[in-house]
Structure 1
Amino acid sequence: MDNPTPSGGGVMICYCLNCRKQSGAAGTYVVVVENKDMVLTGSPKKFLDTNTACGRPLDRYFCYNCGCPIMYRSETVLPGKSLLMFGLFEDIPKPVAEVWTKRRPEWISATSEVLQYVTDIPDDVSGEEAKKLGW
């Protein structure tokens, strides 16, 4: 997969505590991709994270060889889709959303002109908002 940006949508930053811990950074930069549109090669390892901010379990995949985080998956959060770690790719576009902004460090400014969510993205998101998110 060269550049997984789905029509410029679905790219977001999550500041929840688990994503921060997992990435070792102030937030995790991810892109929403359809599982059917990607091929995972090699022997990635999976960690079942049951202590998530949203309260739903999340599979966190990482490289067996180097430990690099690869993606998150949860059929209860985004059925048929994955949150792919965008730091794995050369081209990093502007996000369409920031999630868990209540955990964003005070020294990081909100990204202008993007959707802002204090906690999780609501389950009932629809229309243009859902399209931007890649839902």
Structure 2
Amino acid sequence: MPTGSCWCGNVKYEFAGGSTPVALCHCLSCQKISGGTNTANIPVAREKLTVTSGTPKSHTQKHEDGFDLTVFFCGDCGSAIYKHADGDMFENVSLVQSGTLDGPARDKISTPSSELNVKLRASWLAEVSAAVQKQGFV
């Protein structure tokens, strides 16, 4: 069972399942959440994600595409751990931030299968050649 944690280790989680496709997202919200060029998201069914230690804080903000996006993060170190969105395509899905995976779980991350919002990808950042390139979320 893959496990993960925040930077300081106060919030820990696990989820059922093995290697899952990773989706890179270049939207403006993900850039702000990560402080970088994108987020690397592992879609996990919400009922399969369990916080095993600590209690993440959350912040909800309107995404630039109009849906509500909630980020769950450690209140001590600030690491973004997972996200929920109320848009139809995100119903019942947690988007686990791949950089929070621990140990052996990190080795099970597949090459990104899709890149979302590529219209907002930094011009100097190359596309992932094997990934489906999408202008938006669909």
Structure-1 residue corresponding to 2:64: 53
Structure 1 residue 104: Cα displacement: 0.5
Structure 1 residue 6: Cα displacement: 5.1
List, as ranges, runs of 4+ consecutive aligned residues in structure 1 with deviation greater than 4 Å.
3-8
**Structure 1 CA distance, aligned partners of 2:22 and 2:96?**
9
Q: Which moved more, 1:37-46 or 1:27-36?
A: 37-46
Give the aligned residue type for 1:16.
Answer: C
| Structure 1 residues not aligned, in runs of 5+ | 122-135
Cα RMSD of the aligned pairs, angstroms, is 1.9
**Structure 1 CA distance, aligned partners of 2:22 and 2:82?**
13
**TM-score, normalised with respect to structure 2:** 0.78
Give the aligned residue type for 2:26.
Answer: Y
| Structure 2 residues not aligned, in runs of 5+ | 4-14
Q: 2:100 aligned to 88, 102, 123, which one?
A: 88
Alpha carbons of 1:43 and 1:9: their partners in 2 closer, same or farther (altered >3 Å)? closer
Structure-1 residue corresponding to 2:6: none
How many residues align? The count is 120
Give the aligned residue type for 1:109.
Answer: A
Query: Structure 1 or 2: larger strand share?
Result: 2
Structure-2 residue corresponding to 1:125: none
Structure 1 residue 5: Cα displacement: 9.0
